[in-house]
Amino acid sequence: MKVAIAWYGAEGQASYEYYVKLGHDVTIVTPQVSPDFPLPPSAKSLVGPDAFDHLSGFDIVVRSAGVAPSRLKTDGKIWSATNEFFARCSAPIIGVTGTKGKGTTSSLIASILQAAGCSVHLVGNIGVPPLALLDTITTHDIVVFELSSFQLWDIERSPHIAVALMIEPDHLNVHKDMDDYVAAKANIVRYQQPADITIWNPHNVITDSFAARTKAQPVPYMTPAGAYPQDGYFWLRDQRLCPLTALQLPGAHNIENACAAITAASYYVGGNLAQAVQDGLAAFTGLPHRLKFVASKRGVKYYDDSIATTPGSAIAALHSFDGPKVIILGGESKGASYDNVIAAAKQTGAKIIAVGQVGRAITSAAQAASVPVEYVDGLMEQVVAAAAGTASGEGVVLLSPAATSFDQYKNYADRGNQFAAAVQAL
């Protein structure tokens, strides 16, 4: 079979190795080559800005997640690593999507299942290409798959357990509009059957619509039908599990994420669910760049939340801490409005350091809303210095930008690492 790998990054590399191992005739087709992912010396390749115009003659074109299907013109079948994994995986799959919290929720599910003694594989948008692990997965394992809208765009199967977290506008610089974004997300339940399970946030009108259309058993979390917090404890239906303090992550939004995770994991935990939940929550201390504590300097605590590329994520971060706050906002816009995050800054008494491509627009909007704001035209050393000069004693500085990093940094991890280095240098 003639196979084209459309785009060559981490997922493209795993796809290339997978199809070569199967003995297919594989060509890498990519507009550019990253120094982090050099082409294999023996690989067939088509490289250049117009590479995707030369996809005729292939039996399948395997797109990487960030490549929209509409960009690919071919007389073969457009496929994806996600579709291949779902078609070939012998283990049950718990799929998790949402605008924010999906990486944390996926990790919490995996941690609870591991605490219960299950063999678990955590793959997908979390950073582990699924095809890289396919050969190691057995029918006795469980897969937790973090699914972005890009992975769900053209999916042809849905997971056995679908977890739909809060959804808000995002990636509108890539999706043609909000309807396209929501339609991609909704594919997580589209192919479910009555024996499957849909776990969803009933307080979000978009995920509520997913529950209304699923054929699977609907289970809302944050209600007595699933897991929920009450009187300082996590509960699953009528069973008290463990104290909320077992969760090592700050913020009410992470309590919601934990409730989604507990609900999903409970279907595979036999025996002492309460102990598995307590141990699993306690074992997970957070993902890099997700409201991660960096250091305390002169009484001010600094948190790296560089993964927060939506206004909703920044709002959740603002509500995670009491006391005086400084939030670093800005970067490259994904098309969302900043009005709500500026309103949240005003409500919580936070000061804003505005940065990046949308920094001046944020500054103007904050000034119009009478929110203290300072625009910084520089990289992280200057940004952190400005935040430190603005922060009050015993306060918090949040890098929670509500924007992507690509205007000034390689990616959100690079932005977060530079933030942490600048904080440590104070």
**Quick one: pLDDT at residue 287?**
86
Tokens, residue 29: 């087709």
Looking at residue 176, what is its pLDDT?
82
| Phi and psi torsions of 202, nearest 5° | -80, -5
Tell whether the model's pLDDT for residue 61 goes beyond 90. Answer: yes
Q: What is the pLDDT of residue 100?
A: 87
Please check the confidence at residue 270 and state whether its pLDDT lies above 90: no
Please check the confidence at residue 365 and state whether its pLDDT lies above 90. Answer: yes
The verdict on 105 and 253 lying in the same domain is yes
Q: Which of 81, 103, 138 is at the close of a domain?
A: 81
Cα(188)–Cα(161) distance, rounded to whole angstroms?
9
Query: Which residues, listed in sequence order, are joined to residue 142 by a DSSP beta bridge?
Result: 120
Pairwise CA distance, residues 114 & 299, whole Å? 37
If asked whether residues 207 and 340 sit together in one domain, one would say no
Quick one: 115 and 175 in the same domain?
Answer: yes
Specify the CATH number for the domain of residue 229: 3.40.1190.10
Residue 271 has what pLDDT?
Answer: 82
Q: Can you give the residue range of the structural domain that contains 393?
A: 292-424
Quick one: which of 321, 393, 381 has its CA closest to 355? 381
| 355 neighbors 331 (Cβ within 8 angstroms) | yes
Per the structure block, which two tokens stand in for 186? 């909704």
The model's confidence at residue 175, banded by pLDDT at 50, 70 and 90, is confident
43 and 159: one domain? no
Radius of gyration of the chain (CA): 22
Across 191-211, average pLDDT: 96
Domain holding 363: CATH number?
Answer: 3.90.190.20
Structure tokens at 255: 């309590």
CB atoms within 10 A of CB 333: 20
Task: Tell me, yes or no, whether 139 and 42 share the same domain.
Answer: no
Q: What per-residue confidence (pLDDT) applies to 360? A: 96
DSSP 8-state symbol, 391: P
Give percent of the chain with pLDDT exceeding 70.
100
Tell me: do 356 and 399 sit in the same domain.
Answer: yes
Please give the pLDDT value at position 44: 97
The CATH number that applies at residue 77 is 3.40.50.720
Residue ending a domain, choose from 283, 300, 326: 283
Euclidean distance between CA atoms 112 and 115, whole angstroms: 5
Here the tokens at position 416 are 């977060």
* Residues 244 and 225 occupy one common structural domain: yes
Q: Name which of 4, 184, 180 is nearest 79 in CA terms.
A: 4
Confidence of residue 319 (pLDDT cuts 50, 70, 90): very high
Selection from 171, 137, 190, 158 nearest residue 65 by Cα? 171
Tens of pLDDT, residue by residue over 71-82, are 999 999 999 999
Structure confidence by residue, pLDDT tens digits, 131-145: 999 999 999 999 999
Distance CA 172, CA 336 (A): 7
Are 267 and 307 within one domain?
A: no
pLDDT over 80 at 171, yes or no = no
Model pLDDT for residues 73-123, shown as the tens digit of each residue: 999 999 999 999 999 999 999 999 999 899 999 999 999 999 999 999 999
C-alpha to C-alpha distance for 218 and 134, rounded to whole angstroms: 29
Strands (E), 158-226: 161-164, 197-200, 217-220
Domain final residue pick, 59, 81, 103:
81
The beta-carbon contacts of 181-187 under 8 Å, at least 24 apart in sequence, are 181/149, 182/206, 182/209, 184/149, 184/150, 184/152, 184/153, 185/97, 185/98, 185/149, 185/152, 185/210, 186/210, 186/213, 187/152, 187/153, 187/155, 187/158
Q: Tell me the pLDDT tens digit for each residue of 337-359.
A: 999 999 999 999 999 999 999 99
The reported pTM is: 0.85
Q: Which residues, 6 or more positions from 291, have their beta carbon under 8 angstroms from its beta carbon?
A: 249, 250, 251, 254, 303, 304, 305, 308, 317, 320, 398, 400
Classified as helix, coil or strand, 324 is coil
Domain count, the chain: 3
One domain for residues 306 and 416: yes
